[in-house]
Structure 1
Amino acid sequence: MSSRNLLSDLIKTFSCDIKDLDCMYGKCEKCKEINIITNDQGDNNEETSWLQWKTKKEKRNIKGDEKEITLTVKETVTDSIHVLMDAFSTEMQRFKIHAFNIANQMKHYRNIKENLKPNEALVHVDFAENFQCKLANEIQSMHFWASKKQLTLHTGVFYTALSSQTFLRSVR
């Protein structure tokens, strides 16, 4: 079973209709209070630990100047089972909205693409910022950041009713 199906099954346990905006946005009277996470085995105040991604600011000395940078790190959090269950429920609500938006957006995108008229076009553009250039055979000093060139890649597909064409543009 794919991870996509597992996530879809998980979302279904928190919603009465995964295709309904109100259900997925937590506004449905039938399912907005669904909470399948229970701890029948013990005390919800018992302490537990879990890993969680967090964004932190840190001061670093860069070329003689102190600068504040933002890092995303995985940290161990220790708190009560109750806090973990609340955090999971909050994240699940956010994830339900995210999953609904993706599915709905893809459905509309596919519909537009499949029903293009002869005088219409659909342009899908994406970009990869700070794409790092590499050489197949680099000397050791080339391996470090200061020597690397970066660019932004703009990739896309141009669709018409009868054909499609990919394109790429790079910006330094």
Structure 2
Amino acid sequence: MGKTNKDIEKRRKQKREAERKRREQIKNNPEGYEKAKASESQPEELIKSLCCENKMEESCLEKRCDNCKQKKVTWNEINKKKSAVYKKWILVNEEIIVKGIKKTCKKYIKKDVICNKEKMMEALQHDLAKYMQHIANIRHQYQFIDTLKDSLEKQDVFVHMDFSENYQCKYIRKIQSAHFGGATPQISLIL
């Protein structure tokens, strides 16, 4: 049975949400670096330390540079077997009842992960590679947009639109189900 456009779009939305949570995991969890005893305690410092001469060049961020592709996070002396706790976004299945019918939906929750420090260090190293690729993509996109803006003629117009989110009509003073239910109208921009 083939996938419908709705199924494909739903899967894409889940992937985007998972990627956003992964980025947030790295960006907003400096206490995780400190608990694992990474030499640098902020994401930007950590990324710079893994790049040539602390410059965040695209090839370095994507690990294509010969000088820095083998660089790893420098850890301070720690007991790797000691227990540690950090927060992580996890996708869970949740059962809900809609109009008397039981349905399953997927939802991200922030959960405490308990493991030894060695496992936490491995998780950070894994997430960091994806985060560095994300930073490389952002930098590349900004450079391209700047180049495009600089090359505009007097009669040209630059329109930058982000379609990565679904914009919905929401009411501030409604109950929670009105905000998160599937029946909210969606706004689409058509040019």
Structure 1 residues 13-47: Cα deviation after superposition (integer angstroms, max 9, x where no partner): 122142132x2112333222322242413x21222
User: What is the aligned-residue RMSD (CA, Å)?
Assistant: 2.7
Normalising by the residue count of structure 1, what TM-score does the alignment of the two structures yield? 0.70
Question: What stretches of structure 1 move > 4 A for 4+ residues in a row?
Answer: 146-149
- Residues 54 and 75 in structure 1, CA contact (< 8 A), matched pair in contact too: yes
Structure 1 segment 11-160 matched on structure 2, within 5 A:
11-16=47-52, 17-21=55-59, 23-41=60-78, 43-118=79-154, 120-127=156-163, 128-134=165-171, 142-143=174-175, 145-146=177-178, 149-152=184-187, 154=189
% of aligned pairs identical? 20
Equivalent residue of 2:126, what SS?
helix
Residues 146 and 76 of structure 1, relative CA distance in 2, 3 Å threshold: closer
Aligned length: 144
Quick one: higher RCO (CA 8 Å, sep 6+), 1 or 2?
2
Give the structure with the larger helix fraction: 2
- TM-score norm. by structure 2 comes to 0.64
Between Structure 1 and Structure 2, which shows a larger proportion of strand residues? 1
* CA drift at 1:69: 0.3
What CA distance in whole angstroms lies between the structure 2 residues aligned with 1:97 and 1:117?
33
**SS across alignment from 1:124:** coil
Unaligned runs of 5+ in 2: 1-26, 28-41
CA contact (8 A) 1:37 1:85 kept: no
CA distance in 2, matches of 1:60, 1:150: 21
Residue type matched to 1:25 in 2?
A: E
Residue type of the partner of 2:186? L
Q: Residue 94 of structure 1: CA displacement?
A: 0.7
Q: Which runs of 5+ in 1 are unaligned?
A: 155-168
| Alpha-carbon shift at residue 89 of structure 1 (Å) | 0.8
Distance 1:62 1:39, change over 3 A: farther
